A and B are shown apart, each in its own frame.
Chain A
Amino acid sequence: MTRLLSEPADDVDAEADADGEEGVAPVGGLRSPARRRKAVLPAAVALLLLAGSAFFHFADQLRSTPSARNHALTDPAATTRVSGDVGEGLARVFSYAPAGADAAERSARTVLAGRAARQYTELFAQVRASLVEQRLTLTTQAVRTGVIELDGNRARLLVFLDQTSRRDKAAATTAAAQLTVTAEFRGDRWLIVDIKAR
């Protein structure tokens, strides 16, 4: 250690120290090798900690950009999963026949949560009557699904729906609907927690 850290000029000093001032701590100025040796380690530690903190800060900054935090498409498995769950869920809860009102409401409980579940309950209370009265059948299909944002357990999607309705025996009409859907991963599947018509 001493040899590595001392300059040749100080070496002479060091020898003298060793010979003449046994057991006495060097009290010389900054040029004293022992003093300097003492300062090297703390300096190195400080430098390393500083560098480490800087690296940590920059790494964190790179990873916490809105771009990097959004895993839509960058995590293909999760992207496909959430698209599938949400598309299938919308098709199930917005497809109903006069006889199947209970089934639609039941499946809503497994697919919807939060605000979306409350919205649906309100909507369905109105629809239920006309379902039977007008013998209304509605079939919904998610034709395109795009993940806008995917961050951990939460996702936002844009879904294009085709809704085909048929009143009694009249011809079926198909309407387009665009929704932004907020979904949350709970348990083993993505649940729809909010729906906004676009």
Chain B
Amino acid sequence: MTRAVRTPAGSRPALAGALVLTLVAGGFAAWTGREWYAAAHDDSAAYAVQRDRALAAGEQAVQNLNTLDHRRVEQGLDLWESSTTGDLHKQLVDGRQEFTGQVKTAKTVTTARVLSGAVTELDDRAGRARVLVALRITVTTPDSKSTEKDSRMLGELTRSDGRWKLSGLGQAPVGGTAAG
């Protein structure tokens, strides 16, 4: 038992204590490591990020599509087109010329402010989402009269190339049948 002799008196329990401490520390590291891994690979966290991105993009796009200045129609409509995709995008592109004429004749300036918005549906895999947006729209006519109107809109978003864009937009009907 040479080793026993060599060990300084009292270090056996100390060694055992140190080993226990090491094990506890190891357990702690293993547990927190697993927690970290779980947090980093949490599907619902990734889903939550997509939800927030969809909402931010949706609110911005709805605001963009309700904003137009007759002095800068081309810029405004470019923004409309870059905020949209799918059917809605096609509609805007098709109707662009006619619409430009109308706005230039009416000489109106329309601005919009998002009051509140929420995502009601999100299919993360398919890259589709639906949003509700409450909006205040201000229309200023050439005689500097401005009117405010509250609007409630339903938007449909589609993710293309990692970016959420509006693919459908309409007023939430009043007095219709309840849904969602």
A residues touching B (Cβ–Cβ < 8 Å)? 2, 17-18, 22-23, 25, 34, 41-42, 44-45, 48-49, 51-53, 55-56, 58-59, 62-63, 65-68, 70-75, 141-148, 157-158, 160, 162, 164, 174-176, 178, 180, 198
Of the listed stretches B39-47, B65-73, B138-146, B156-164, chain A binds: B39-47
In the A-B complex, the 8 residue pairs with the smallest Cβ-Cβ separation, listed nearest first, are A146-B118, A55-B32, A48-B25, A174-B175, A52-B29, A62-B39, A59-B36, A55-B36
Q: Are B174 and A52 in contact (CB under 8 A)?
A: no
Q: A70-B51, A144-B179, A178-B134 are in contact. List 13 more A-B contacts (CB 8 A).
A: A49-B25, A49-B28, A52-B28, A58-B36, A62-B40, A68-B42, A68-B48, A72-B119, A73-B47, A75-B44, A146-B120, A160-B172, A162-B178
Q: CB-CB < 8 A to A73: which residues of B? A: 47-48, 51, 119, 121-122
B residues touching A (Cβ–Cβ < 8 Å)? 2-3, 5-6, 8, 15, 18-19, 21-22, 25-26, 28-29, 31-33, 35-36, 38-40, 42, 44-45, 47-49, 51-52, 115-122, 131-132, 134, 150, 152, 154, 172-176, 178-180
- Given known pairs A58-B36, A62-B45, the reply for A48 and B115 (CB within 8 Å) is no
- Given known pairs A56-B36, A62-B39, A68-B48, the reply for A144 and B29 (CB within 8 Å) is no
Q: CB-CB < 8 A to A198: which residues of B? A: 115-116, 134, 150
- Given known pairs A67-B48, A176-B174, the reply for A160 and B3 (CB within 8 Å) is no
Q: Are A67 and B33 in contact (CB under 8 A)?
A: no
Interface of A is mostly: mixed
Q: CB-CB < 8 A to A65: which residues of B? A: 45
A2-B119 Cα distance, complex, nearest whole Å: 63
Least CB separation from A45: chain B residue = B25
Q: Please tell me which one of the listed residues A2, A25, A71, A176 contacts residue B152 in the complex, with CB atoms under 8 A apart.
A: A176
Q: Are B118 and A157 in contact (CB under 8 A)?
A: yes
A146-B117 Cα distance, complex, nearest whole Å: 8
